[in-house]
Amino acid sequence: MSAPLAGIRVLDLSRILAGPWCTQVLADLGAEVIKVERPGTGDDTRAWGPPFLRAKDGGETTDSAYFASTNRGKQSITLDIASPEGQEIARGLAARCDVFVENYKVGDMKRYGLDYESLAPANPRLVYCSVTGFGQTGPYRTRAGYDFMIQAMGGLMSITGERDDLPGGGPQKAGVPIADLMTGMYAAVAILGALRERDASGRGQYVDMALLDAQVAWLMNHNLNYLVSGAVPKRWGNAHPNLTPYQAFPTKDGNLILAIGNDGQFRKFCAVAGLDIAMEPRFVDNRSRLANRDALVAIIAQAMRARTTAEWMAVLEAEGVPCGPINTIDQVFADPQVVHRGLRMDLPHAAAGTVPQVANPIRYSRTPLEYRAGPPVLGEHTERVLTKELGLDAGRIAELKRMGVL
């Protein structure tokens, strides 16, 4: 069976992370993605190293591991869209595509004649997705937006990090650029929705995605906690604002996460830990435990130091109490469950031979995802795409290269 998006063609004018993450998801789903990059330098993240991919001869390539993490399965063409010739080529490709993704500043695409209003008449079925920091409307629309500042402005850093009254307290950003990643995921979902609607209407449409919108949207229970109660959420470190015990605890040789989500699990934990507190009025249910959080955490913390992480894992898992170790990245990829699920894989790469990748977590029963190739080298597919899609011959392509268009 073909992959779910087989036959869908995407013109990708995005770079850095949110847009490329979106289009990598679409590529995994089977779409043909043509990535448009600046001649000579390409996507900024190609240079975001070390580490860089190793070439077949053992030396370094010019492509970073960062770039490789977000661009597999795409075709790379180089094109100067600031030039009239480059704009003409981009318009020609857009007329032959189902999806157009870009993350330039508001107004840039219109200046190049590559905005939705300019492209839709020639291709009314086009789904056009713009990804910006703050969207196409509003007082911040012309501002540049970066993940770090969006995590701060969107409230995430105010609820991430240790409590102010504890050592190391203060706001923290997430360990990965989660605002970019979530915006990319929302963008992919939005594009899939627009494609599905196109099946019925026959018409494409414009999708306006903003990092700040996405960041605010996925704060989830923290949003509703505030909107319902009026109380401003605060940082809880590794603890949970609505559940306890639901945090990390030091053990005899490391740390263990307890993720107790109901009263039955709490009673099982107390029995395993030898704590005769499960039916005490101050701990009998989650509401009571939250009201007496500090006292409960102190009792559990003392008990947890009596055994190693592995010992706790064995006895708690046997009783169905949710728990887990805090793994380093090397331990993650050595974990038997991760190995069994095939999350680490290798794909072909023009300069490196092969490149390690992490599989998309989506698992379909009938239409498996497609991993056609690793990330492309800069301009790897320029001649092929322009010849096949626009009929440019070798002479014209050579001329455009001399002009700096390609």
Question: How many whole angstroms separate alpha carbon 295 and alpha carbon 51?
Answer: 46
Report phi then psi at 295, rounded to 5. Answer: -65, -40
Q: Which of 28, 98, 115, 180 is catalytic?
A: 180
180 classed as catalytic:
yes
Question: How many whole angstroms separate alpha carbon 389 and alpha carbon 387?
Answer: 6
- The answer to whether 397 and 383 are in contact (CB under 8 A) is yes
Helix-, strand-, coil-residue percentages of the chain, each rounded to 5: 40, 15, 45
CA 162, 167, 173, 174 dihedral sign is negative
Question: How many whole angstroms separate alpha carbon 57 and alpha carbon 351?
Answer: 9
- The answer to whether 131 and 207 are in contact (CB under 8 A) is no
- Give Cα separations from 305 to 253, 267, 311, 330 (angstroms): 8, 19, 11, 25
Beta strands in 220-379 (DSSP E): 246-250, 255-259, 323-325, 344-349, 353-358
Local structure of 209: helix, strand or coil: strand
- The answer to whether 234 and 163 are in contact (CB under 8 A) is yes
Residues with active-site annotation:
180
